Amino acid sequence: MTDILYIHGFNSSPASQKARQLVAVMTRLGLQDHLRVPALHHHPRLAIGQLEAAVAELDRPLLVGSSLGGYYATHLAERHGLKALLINPAVLPHGRFDGYLGPQKNHYSGEEWELTHEHVEALAALQVPAPSDGARYQVWLQTADETLDYREAARFYRAGALRIEAGGDHSFQRFASHLPALLAFAGIPAARWRDLDFSTF
């Protein structure tokens, strides 16, 4: 059974809707021990340290990364040869963060912190070339993402399996309805989940 490592985005947490929906489904399936959803530190070096520890603990997990978590997931997937499912992923976020320097607040925990040039440099150090092994990547994009231009991710991950939906937003609307595809990509047999009503999550 493939393990899953969910990687949340910038100023997000395991309390985000997508994370909670995935936890609920895995729990319903009795597979909660095969899922990790760490609360990541705001500093990229510390966050990657947390994620490297999770990868070492799990058995070649599927990486599921949202937004900035997609950037982290790509770094880890290329470093360890893992599969990754990316949801509205950030592409080269260090090139965008200069406009966000200064005080920050986590949307869920309320933690206040300062985004500095050191954070940006640490993000830049994690950059990898565009993936070439397309079989290891699924990239889910919604065209009305108000935070990131979906076309940047479509270009960067063009070797992978792209799922581009019209409309939506940065949070990726209707995520629960896509969970069967996530479970299938993780290698979880359809017999375990085909009778679930995913609209209830």
Q: What is the CATH number of the domain that holds 97?
A: 3.40.50.1820
Q: What is the pLDDT along the chain (201 residues), one digit of tens a residue?
A: 789 999 999 999 999 999 999 999 999 999 999 999 999 999 999 999 999 999 999 989 999 999 999 999 999 999 999 999 999 999 989 888 877 899 999 999 999 999 999 999 999 999 999 999 989 999 999 999 999 999 999 999 999 999 999 999 999 999 999 999 999 999 999 999 999 999 999
Q: How many distinct helices (H) and strands (E) make up the chain?
A: 7, 8
Q: Which pLDDT belongs to residue 199?
A: 92
Q: Which pLDDT belongs to residue 1?
A: 73
Using only C-alpha atoms, the chain has a radius of gyration, in whole angstroms, of 16
Cα separation, 175 vs 12, in Å, equals: 16
Cα separation, 145 vs 164, in Å, equals: 11
Cα separation, 51 vs 54, in Å, equals: 5
- Which structural domain, as residue segments, surrounds residue 89? 6-165+172-200
Q: Which pLDDT belongs to residue 97?
A: 80
Q: What is the bridge-based pairing of β-strands 112-115 and 102-105?
A: antiparallel
Q: Residue 189 falls within a domain, yes or no?
A: yes
Q: Residue 160 falls within a domain, yes or no?
A: yes
Q: Which pLDDT belongs to residue 100?
A: 81
Q: How many CB atoms lie within 10 A of CB 53?
A: 12
Q: Residue 1 falls within a domain, yes or no?
A: no
Q: What does the block give as tokens for 159? A: 């070797």
Q: What does the block give as tokens for 162? A: 């792209």
Burial (CB count <10 Å: 0-12, 13-18, 19+), residue 110: exposed
Q: Residue 69 falls within a domain, yes or no?
A: yes
Q: What is the bridge-based pairing of β-strands 112-115 and 84-87?
A: unpaired
Cα separation, 46 vs 65, in Å, equals: 17
Q: Which residues contact 93 (CB under 8 A, 6 or more apart)?
A: 10, 68, 71, 123
Q: Residue 147 falls within a domain, yes or no?
A: yes
List phi, psi (to 5°) of 147: -105, -40
Total number of domains constituting the chain: 1
Q: Which residues contact 110 (CB under 8 A, 6 or more apart)?
A: none
Q: What does the block give as tokens for 85? A: 């499912």
Q: Which pLDDT belongs to residue 184?
A: 96
Model pTM? 0.97
Maximum Cα–Cα distance across the chain: 49
